Structure 1
Amino acid sequence: MATASSPSTPIITVPDADDESIAILERIEGKIDLSGLELRIHMGVPASDDEWIERTAGADGMLLGWHVPDAALASTDRLKVISYLGTGASDHVNLGLAADRGMEVLTVSGYGDDAVAEHAAALMMAAVRSVPQLDRAVRAGEWPSASSWQIRGRRLGVVGLGGIGRRMVEIGRGLGMDVVAWNRSAESGATEIDGIPLLPMSELFATSDAVSLHVPLNEHTRGLVGEQLLRSMKPDAVLVNTARGAVVDEEALLRVLDDGAIRAAALDVFGSEPLAGDSRLRDHERAIVTPHVAFNTTDASERLFIIALQNLVDFFSAKG
């Protein structure tokens, strides 16, 4: 990667690298011009505040993959910018403290739209066709019969029309589904956006054969999907969540699954992650679970690093 070309070259610390991030950095070398930066790469998440402070010392910028403690931000007067590898920097950086210290926090959006939507579609189809359950049965020596419904002609309800939700609309239409959506403008009476029919949340849940969630987690969406909405779904419907776990009331979802009120829930995100060892979602016959990997494709990971690094290049270029 880049090396220092002069004493004035901005120093970028990568405080929490792992083997995967090193491999990505090697793959994207040549795809982005980092000649104006010096990267100082440290392996593994720092084990203590002191180690964080040591890795931050002398750095002008930071490429951050996870959580940075307040002690590291408070210890340096040199750090000017943090480029976070993702969208949810507020969960991992004390934005107020960073602002007080004169640091800019940059994020990356849109890098995983295709990846997350494709995973949501895969979860939807796996739930409709009972793929995990049938796989387990055959491996156990069984040869069960299982009925399901076809995707074509069924209704897909997409909750949230950001980049991922809009890509999910495209995929659903490509599969021959009748796609409807909800976003906040639907609550104000809007009936269409960019050719996508909008429905009130209650109608979307009640009339869709599959509901896929694609909203951010905030004060408006925490607990958005509760027991009333879940019980309004068709008995053979499936719920897909690749958004954030806390968007769904998990205990209410378990009660609905216990009662067999819907066909299945296919989840990549959970209220607490990693999913607790005693969580009933782990072995519930109506739940399909994956470990928050919807975003994690080679293409999306490379795009994430390229944009995050370009943010740093642009920041220091603008500073002259």
Structure 2
Amino acid sequence: MQEKIVLYKKVADDVLAMLQQAHRVVQFDDINADNRAAFMAELQDAAGLIGASVKIDASVLDHAPRLKAISTISVGIDQFDPADLSKRGIVLLNTPDVLTETTADTGFALILATARRVVELADYVRQGRWTHSIGEDCFGTDVQGKTLGIVGMGRIGGAIARRASLGFGMPVLYNNRRPDPAAEKAYGARFCSLDTLLQSADFVCVTVPLTPETHGMIGAQELAQMRPGAILVNISRGSIIDETALISALENGRLRGAGLDVFEREPVAPDSRLLKMPNVVALPHIGSATHETRHGMAVCAAQNLLDALSGNATRNVVNPEVLTRLPT
């Protein structure tokens, strides 16, 4: 049976065609103040919803009484309340596997760029300051052989561990909800407490999902435990780290630098003190942002939604308890 789908993100033509072959699609390239009322009106008789980067909370869902499934073009689900969706009988699907390697590339790029001061020294050249052979004022710090601590050994954490261990000879420590025997066997990773990781690692990379438990998990107390001169990298969500505490740790020299793809508020304010620090590499949340990966995510999300609406969802389901209530 053909249903109505509301698409709230611009996607490639072939992805749109996938959806249109099976259902009626109403498309919004994005949601803003000018079209939000129209978006809400279209939800009234929609069975499926697909998109990204828009908060889908009770105020939105109350306008969607027939909604059966939401497919987010992302791995993160912090724009949703899965418990509320389950109460409403709405299945939530995401795209975890397709972006793993690309996001891990971003994480390791931040490790290298921060350690070797790549952005700062590229600006040094562009500004015409390279007038003689460089001295210690342009030196960075080694990555190879240093200890990497990974906070959250999920798919992305594991991909970073592989790059670190096999590519750069780095001992890997990790903190996770539970040990990961596969990572320990493949990469020699060692499970430890968060305190031990922070006290021992030269580089700390944050890859945990944002949940009520991980919100603010790296604050002033945790930053104070990090080794003097350590580097902090965050490719997860900005709210996992207390930015005010991070700024203090950078300004007082406790940390050598930080590589940040995410911030507490996005886009980050142009006057943020983080952006005034040469030892901070700041990116505009590009974790999975390559042509290939973003297209793959959209295809995955579209297929997830088609499967859910036909009663065949078997993968990438965030709240599987709802599946028994969907049509078969």
Pairwise TM-score range, normalised by the shorter structure: 0.7 to 0.9
**Equivalent residue in structure 2 for 1:156, among 133, 142, 148:** 148
Match of 1:74 in 2: 62
Match of 2:213 in 1: 220
User: Could you list the per-position Cα deviations for residues 51-94 of structure 1 after superposition, in whole angstroms to 9, with x for gaps in the alignment?
Assistant: 123322433211132234645532344332221222344x4345
Match of 1:202 in 2: 195
CA contact (8 A) 2:261 2:287 kept: yes
**Equivalent residue in structure 1 for 2:111, among 124, 131, 142:** 124
Match of 1:294 in 2: 287
**Counterparts of 2:70 and 2:48 in 1: how far apart (Å)?**
6
Q: How far off its partner does 1:111 sit?
A: 2.7
CA contact (8 A) 1:49 1:69 kept: no
CA contact (8 A) 1:116 1:294 kept: yes
**Equivalent residue in structure 2 for 1:39, among 25, 40, 53:** 25
Q: How far off its partner does 1:112 sit?
A: 1.6
The one-letter amino acid of 1:210's match is F
Match of 2:321 in 1: none
TM-score of the pair, normalised by structure 2:
0.82
Q: Secondary structure at the match of 1:184?
A: coil
CA contact (8 A) 2:229 2:256 kept: yes
Against the structure 1 CA distance between its residues 280 and 170, is the aligned structure 2 distance closer, same or farther, given a 3 Å change threshold? same
Match of 1:110 in 2: 97
The one-letter amino acid of 2:199's match is A
CA contact (8 A) 2:76 2:209 kept: no
Match of 1:4 in 2: none
**Counterparts of 2:143 and 2:82 in 1: how far apart (Å)?**
44
User: Could you list the per-position Cα deviations for residues 152-171 of structure 1 after superposition, in whole angstroms to 9, with x for gaps in the alignment?
Assistant: 22111111100000000001
Match of 1:56 in 2: 43
**Structure 2: tracts of 5 or more residues without a match:** 312-326
Match of 1:3 in 2: none
**Counterparts of 2:173 and 2:59 in 1: how far apart (Å)?**
47
The one-letter amino acid of 1:78's match is R
Against the structure 1 CA distance between its residues 293 and 193, is the aligned structure 2 distance closer, same or farther, given a 3 Å change threshold? closer
**Counterparts of 1:309 and 1:291 in 2: how far apart (Å)?**
25
With CA pairs under 8 Å and 6+ residues apart, which has the higher RCO, 1 or 2?
A: 2
**Counterparts of 1:56 and 1:286 in 2: how far apart (Å)?**
46
Q: How far off its partner does 1:96 sit?
A: 5.6
Q: How far off its partner does 1:131 sit?
A: 0.8
CA contact (8 A) 1:191 1:198 kept: no
Against the structure 1 CA distance between its residues 132 and 311, is the aligned structure 2 distance closer, same or farther, given a 3 Å change threshold? same
Against the structure 1 CA distance between its residues 301 and 207, is the aligned structure 2 distance closer, same or farther, given a 3 Å change threshold? same
TM-score of the pair, normalised by structure 1:
0.84
CA contact (8 A) 2:68 2:309 kept: no
CA contact (8 A) 1:83 1:308 kept: yes
Q: Secondary structure at the match of 1:185?
A: coil
**Counterparts of 1:192 and 1:307 in 2: how far apart (Å)?**
26
**Counterparts of 2:301 and 2:288 in 1: how far apart (Å)?**
16
**Counterparts of 2:48 and 2:259 in 1: how far apart (Å)?**
39
Q: How far off its partner does 1:34 sit?
A: 6.1
Q: How far off its partner does 1:264 sit?
A: 0.5
Please identify, of 234-243 and 76-85, the stretch whose mean Cα deviation from structure 2 is larger.
76-85
Please identify, of 53-62 and 110-119, the stretch whose mean Cα deviation from structure 2 is larger.
53-62
CA contact (8 A) 1:191 1:197 kept: no
User: Could you list the per-position Cα deviations for residues 198-253 of structure 1 after superposition, in whole angstroms to 9, with x for gaps in the alignment?
Assistant: 12222222222211111112232222222333233333321111111122221121
1:85 aligns with 2:73: yes
The one-letter amino acid of 1:11's match is K
Aligned pairs for 1:133-212 (under 5 A) are: 133-143=120-130, 144-145=134-135, 146-173=138-165, 174-185=167-178, 194-195=184-185, 196-212=189-205
Against the structure 1 CA distance between its residues 75 and 208, is the aligned structure 2 distance closer, same or farther, given a 3 Å change threshold? closer
Please identify, of 39-48 and 249-258, the stretch whose mean Cα deviation from structure 2 is larger.
39-48
**Counterparts of 2:65 and 2:221 in 1: how far apart (Å)?**
51
Q: How far off its partner does 1:260 sit?
A: 1.3
Q: How many residues align?
A: 302
CA contact (8 A) 2:151 2:205 kept: yes
What's the Cα RMSD here? 2.6
The one-letter amino acid of 2:240's match is V
**Structure 1: tracts of 5 or more residues without a match:** 1-7
